[in-house]
Amino acid sequence: MPLEWSSSPQLALNVNGAKLEYACFGPVPENGTTIVMLHEGLGCLSLWRDFPQRVSEATGLGVLVFSRQGYGQSDPVSLPRPLDFMTREALDVLPGVLEQVGIRRCILFGHSDGATIAAIYAGSVEDHRVRGLILMAPHFFTEETGLQEIARAKQSYAETELRQKMAKYHADPDGAFRGWNEVWLHPNFKDWNVAEVIDYLRIPVLAIQGRDDQYGTLAQIEEIETRAYSPVDTVILDCRHAPHLEAPSETLAAIREFAARLERIEAAEVIPA
pLDDT in tens, 65-118: 999 999 999 999 999 999 999 999 999 999 999 999 999 999 999 999 999 999
Please tell me the predicted confidence (pLDDT) of residue 266. 84
199 vs 229: CA distance, rounded Å? 7
134 vs 259: CA distance, rounded Å? 9
pLDDT in tens, 249-264: 999 999 999 999 999 9
What predicted TM-score, i.e. pTM, was given to this entire model?
0.96
Cα angle 183, 87, 71 (rounded to 5 degrees) comes to 60
24 vs 5: CA distance, rounded Å? 6
Classify residue 146 by its DSSP letter: H
Number of helices followed by number of strands (H, E) in the chain: 10, 9
Domains of the chain, first to last: 13-267 (3.40.50.1820)
Pairing of strands 18-20, 13-15: antiparallel
Please tell me the predicted confidence (pLDDT) of residue 2. 64
pLDDT in tens, 120-137: 999 999 999 999 999 999
What are 111's strand-pairing partners? 136
24 vs 53: CA distance, rounded Å? 8
147 vs 154: CA distance, rounded Å? 11
pLDDT band at residue 269 using 50, 70 and 90 as cut-offs: low
What sections of the chain are H helices per DSSP? 51-59, 85-88, 94-101, 113-124, 144-159, 162-167, 173-184, 219-227, 243-246, 248-267
Q: Where are the beta strands (DSSP E) in 150-217?
A: 205-210
